[in-house]
Amino acid sequence: MLRHLISAADLTRDDAVLILDTAEEMARVADRPIKKLPTLRGRTVVNLFFEDSTRTRISFEAAEKRLSADVINFTAKGSSVSKGESLKDTAQTLEAMGVDAVVIRHGASGAPYRLANSGWIDAAVINAGDGTHQHPTQALLDAFTMRRRLVGRDTGLGQDLDGRRITIVGDILHSRVARSNVDLLHTLGAEVTLVAPPTLVPVGVGNWPCEVSYDLDAVLPKSDAVMMLRVQRERMNAAFFPTEREYSRRYGLDGDRMARMPEHAVVMHPGPMVRGMEITAEVADSERCTVVEQVANGVSIRMAVLYLLLGGNEPAVTHTRTEEKSER
């Protein structure tokens, strides 16, 4: 395993499958009366959030606590990060406190990479989203959700997503989720198609291991999963597309479009959903939509990542019944 998790592109197929399998083990913990493992007892994990994201922070925090880690939340939002010194200064403060892992969310692409590679800090670094670059645990939880739905919860163990056709729709240009998913899904053997208006596809996408289409209707019937990305309304003012209505008409997912997907196909969304523009309420609330599962799976994935990065050599879940008892 890696020492840090900065980019989904850094994961080999075996790494990724190991994380997914470990997450399945972790998921079982959630079904127990006491949802806690002693695995990271005595280890300190800091959630270092330079950018607001309550959902992601809570998901990591839940994962850390279920593994019995000591958790420190550090929210740097609003502090003087403009000069950039605060990342280094903060890192060195954390280092002095003997932190074992740093979960970092930052508005600047590459900030977690700098944190892990500049010699500022010794702790393991986990990227919880950086700028428009990467959000690897999101990609892992998406892959985990797809594997469960498309391959099966138990039959999926040890499996990848070979040959599955995944469509990612929306603001690819500004999306770290899209970047992470393209990398990971490709590693796992899936065929990815990006669908967006050309203004929301980055120049240079030609080198990505995926297809690009501007026509959602043509791609839907061939999709095993359709991942809808959030489109910010501000993009309209920056002339990425003419009107909200036109965007919805061409790239929004409604009931009619969903009906053109194969029966087994699922609809995904990294959340938070803004119903209306990119996805209608009808689709968001349907059986096929995995948004709520994605949230739950996020905790299992983050438990698996923390466990594996922080040197879990022992099996994560077995032989823990006595521990659980002693904790009562």
Cα(129)–Cα(108) distance, integer angstroms: 9
Residues near other proteins (CB under 8 A), total: 32
CA neighbor of 134 nearest in space, from 242, 10, 297, 295: 10
| 109 counts as binding other proteins under rule CB under 8 A | yes
In the bound complex, what is the minimum distance in angstroms from residue 128's beta carbon to other proteins? 15
Candidate list 2, 73, 74, 107; residue touching other proteins; CB under 8 A: 107
Interaction with other proteins in 208-237: which residues (CB under 8 A)?
208
Candidate list 130, 160, 171, 278; residue touching other proteins; CB under 8 A: 130
Relative to beta strand 211-213, strand 225-228 is: unpaired
Part in contact with other proteins (CB under 8 A); list of ranges 21-29, 103-111, 256-264, 282-290: 103-111
Phi-psi region of 42 (alpha: psi -120 to 50; beta: other; left: phi over 0): left
Annotated binding-site residue? 112: no
Cα(117)–Cα(287) distance, integer angstroms: 43
| 312 counts as binding other proteins under rule CB under 8 A | no
Part in contact with other proteins (CB under 8 A); list of ranges 83-91, 242-250, 278-286, 296-304: 83-91
| 132 counts as binding other proteins under rule CB under 8 A | yes
Task: Kindly tell me the number of DSSP H helices and DSSP E strands found in the chain.
Answer: 13, 9
Part in contact with other proteins (CB under 8 A); list of ranges 65-73, 140-148, 206-214, 257-265: 206-214
Annotated binding-site residue? 66: no
**Rg of the chain over CA atoms, in angstroms?**
20
| 33 counts as binding other proteins under rule CB under 8 A | no
What's the half-sphere exposure (Cβ side, CA atoms, 13 Å) at 264? 12
| 118 counts as binding other proteins under rule CB under 8 A | yes
Cis peptide before 272 (omega within 30 of 0): yes
Annotated binding-site residue? 294: no
| 57 counts as binding other proteins under rule CB under 8 A | no
Candidate list 82, 313, 318, 326; residue touching other proteins; CB under 8 A: 82
| 274 counts as binding other proteins under rule CB under 8 A | no
- The span from the first CA to the last CA of the chain, in angstroms, equals 33
| 80 counts as binding other proteins under rule CB under 8 A | no
| 2 counts as binding other proteins under rule CB under 8 A | no
Identify the DSSP state of 149: I
In the bound complex, what is the minimum distance in angstroms from residue 132's beta carbon to other proteins? 4
Candidate list 33, 42, 163, 206; residue touching other proteins; CB under 8 A: 206
Annotated binding-site residue? 271: yes
Choice between 91 and 253, CB closer to other proteins: 91
Relative to beta strand 101-106, strand 70-75 is: unpaired
Site of tokens 């096929």: 288
Cα(32)–Cα(124) distance, integer angstroms: 29
Query: Which burial class, exposed, middle or buried, applies to 38 when counting CB atoms under 10 A from its CB (0-12, 13-18, 19+)?
Result: middle
Q: Which residues bind other proteins (CB under 8 A)?
A: 9, 81-85, 87-88, 106-111, 113-114, 117-118, 130-134, 176, 179, 202-208
